[in-house]
Amino acid sequence: MLHPSARPEGPLRVVVVDADERVRASLCGLICISGRIEIVGDAGQVGPAFDIVTATAPDLVIVDPRLPDLEGGLAFIVRLRARWPEVRILAMSWSDAVEAAVLAGGADGFVHKTYRPTAMVAAIEAADRRAVERSA
């Protein structure tokens, strides 16, 4: 995978990981409208999410830290950060209570699931900027 600062110009390549298929479909449809983001995969569980990240080498992964898998979303964030430190991670949840934990676990940002499409795009771009600044 490319270092974030070496990413070629073009849309951010994003994977969405959320157990709720409706949330994934809505999010994928809404954030693509900006033209600055390309969805390269989505998954509802940790195992398939790792497979998609491995196959697509995305720039950013949006993940619900409360995935119902055995591992759970927070463990997924920690493993994702350890295995692919160059991938940006944006946590997304209904609960603000998990924000500190996901940021401590390696996420580059947090957004509440009651987002507006423009707020989600802004959160994705902010997470991307933070990751580039962190790696510089």
What integer pLDDT is reported at residue 67 of this predicted model? 85
pLDDT tens-digit series, residues 12-62: 999 999 999 999 998 888 888 778 889 999 999 999 999 999 999 999 999
Domains and CATH numbers, the chain: 13-95+108-120 (3.40.50.2300)
The residues near 119 (Cβ < 8 Å, ≥ 6 apart) are 111
pLDDT tens-digit series, residues 122-134: 888 888 776 666 5
Q: Phi/psi zone of residue 72: left (φ > 0), alpha (ψ -120 to 50 degrees), beta?
A: left
Structure tokens at 100: 């500190």
Contact 44, 18 (CB under 8 A): yes
Average pLDDT in the chain? 84
